[in-house]
Amino acid sequence: MTIGWHFNNTYSKLSDTFKEEIKPVPVNNPELIILNESLASEINLDFSKIDKKELSKIFSGNVLPNGSNSIAQAYAGHQFGHFTMLGDGRAVLIGEHTTKVNKKYDIQFKGSGKTAFSRNGDGRAALGPMLREYIISEAMNSLNIPTTRSLAVVKTGENIQRETALQGAILTRVASSHIRVGTFQYIAAREKENELKTLLDYTIDRHYPEIKDSNNKAIDLLNLLIERQCDLVVNWMRVGFIHGVMNTDNMTISGETIDYGPCAFMDAYDPKTVFSSIDQMGRYAYCNQPLITKWNLARFAECLVPLIDNDQDKAVKIATETINSFEKKYEEKWMNMMRDKLGLFGLDNKDKFLILDLLTWMHEKKADYTNTFCHLMDPNLKKEKIFEENSFLEWKKRWEERSLKNNNTSKKCKELMRSNNPLVIPRNHKIEEALEAAEQNNLEPMNKILEILNKPYNEQKDIADYQSPSISDEKYQTFCGT
């Protein structure tokens, strides 16, 4: 029976500094909850001839595929601004699977038991957070946002203790790699330049081979990561996504969204929106995401200083100048993204005022972020009293006049908007409903929401319930799950 695994494990060949060789801790009674067959097909894997019992063994780590070589990766991280030496405390990378077109993917089990990096943790994960990551990471992929993906979730048949006893689960995560800013911080903290150079060369070889022969690989990598992370966070802002735990260990060098812990999507537009129960000061609020991205990139730049120039003062000066290019790049990308959301072609020096006036109105009126743009694309999509107010109608008149400039037509304007404004996002209360049902062995709500979120830009029948924000006045909170 051939599944199609093709492992070519390169990270595990690095020195022991970078990882610990360890197998997943076996579980008692694994049960497959969900398998992402379309992702399996994309990466040339075929599980169709394997029965559910065998699949449960595979995705719990009880049976490891031939050619795998499981490791826990070492990394550090600034967690809410405080530096900590970390590592995979509840995950193992089982190997790097290569597809027929030579694309390499990390296959990682999350919740697979204790490692050398677990500290006081049990190395396990609960069913709810693993299914949350599955739903939201797949939704992000459908929203055309770079992300790690989810291949499967299994229940372990064992309870884990958090505030209460919860069902244990393991998620199979697929990523183009798990190299993080925190990986560089871990190696840089050891102050061994040869190890830092090894990591730099490995990263470039894996993700950015186009700069392999450059004169200053470190600064070129920094520039590329600034671009990637700018693009990523602008995409988050486009759909109202709040990551919630933007620690440096959760920023990948590949530019993919990783770690869907306390993440959620904004309903009513408020730049200060925070959902995470542990983010008391709003460090990772919606409006702070660009600032934190720059802060994290500055920590990355600090790691690279020894490789930028032999003269430390000169290296710091170059790194600082490079990091300070972030604001201008981000603002330009954000402005272009907002123009796309509003269907505006070309540039106009009044665009910024038009955009900010809309956001100010949305904030004052507590208008739903996603649905406001849906209404602008097609007033029939969202008919609400709020859109009949004079202040909105006056703004709308200015927008309509601007949208017809630069040889634009109403049709072209709507097409641009359609590809940038989702009609449906993962609504927090619907996610909770699906997770609560799954806890009771009812997977119907989860399968339904996955089906709808798979086509966020398409008109679909009978989805009004998935497009409306919660009517509850209770503040929605998310939790890390560790």
**3-state secondary structure at position 155:** strand
Tens digits of per-residue pLDDT, 160-203? Answer: 988 888 999 999 999 999 999 999 999 999 999 999 999 999 99
Report how far residue 425's alpha carbon sits from residue 236's, in angstroms, rounded to the nearest whole number.
Answer: 12
When pLDDT is cut at 50, 70 and 90, the band that residue 99 belongs to is very high
Report, as an integer, the average pLDDT of 465-478. 79
Report how far residue 466's alpha carbon sits from residue 80's, in angstroms, rounded to the nearest whole number.
Answer: 33
Name, in order, each residue with C-beta under 8 angstroms of 406's C-beta and a sequence gap of 6 or more: 345, 346
Alpha helices by DSSP H, listed for 168-216, are: 181-189, 193-207
Tens digits of per-residue pLDDT, 177-187? Answer: 999 999 999 99
Tens digits of per-residue pLDDT, 196-231? Answer: 999 999 999 999 999 999 999 999 999 999 999 999
Give residue for tokens 């409306």: 468
pLDDT score at 287: 96
| DSSP letters spanning 275-322 | -BTT-TT-TT-GGGHHHHHHHHHHHHHHHHHHHH-SSHHHHHHHHHHH
pLDDT score at 326: 97
Residue of 4, 14, 2 whose CA lies nearest to 177: 14
Q: E-strand spans in 30-75?
A: 31-35, 71-73
Give residue for tokens 């990091």: 323
pLDDT score at 157: 92
Tens digits of per-residue pLDDT, 415-442? Answer: 999 999 999 999 999 999 999 999 999 9
Residue 476 reports pLDDT greater than 70: no
Burial zone of 403 (CB within 10 Å; 0-12 exposed, 13-18 middle, 19+ buried): buried
Residue 365: C-alpha distances to residues 11, 51, 306, 308, 415 (Å): 51, 53, 51, 49, 27
With a threshold of 0.85, does the pTM exceed it?
yes
Tens digits of per-residue pLDDT, 300-343? Answer: 999 999 999 999 999 999 999 999 999 999 999 999 999 999 99
Q: Rg (Cα) of the chain, in Å, rounded?
A: 23
Quick one: what percent of the chain has pLDDT higher than 70?
98
Tens digits of per-residue pLDDT, 312-323? Answer: 999 999 999 999
Task: Extract the tokens encoding 46.
Answer: 């075929």
pLDDT score at 199: 98
Give residue for tokens 């540039």: 347
Element (H, E) at 447: helix 444-453
Which range among 25-34, 214-223, 232-241, 405-414 shows the weakest confidence by mean pLDDT? Answer: 405-414
Tens digits of per-residue pLDDT, 122-139? Answer: 989 999 999 999 999 999
Task: Extract the tokens encoding 302.
Answer: 């600090």
**In the predicted model, what is the mean pLDDT of the chain?**
94
Report how far residue 168's alpha carbon sits from residue 305's, in angstroms, rounded to the nearest whole number.
Answer: 42
Quick one: what percent of the chain has pLDDT higher than 90?
87
Active site residues: 249
Tens digits of per-residue pLDDT, 8-24? Answer: 999 999 999 999 999 99
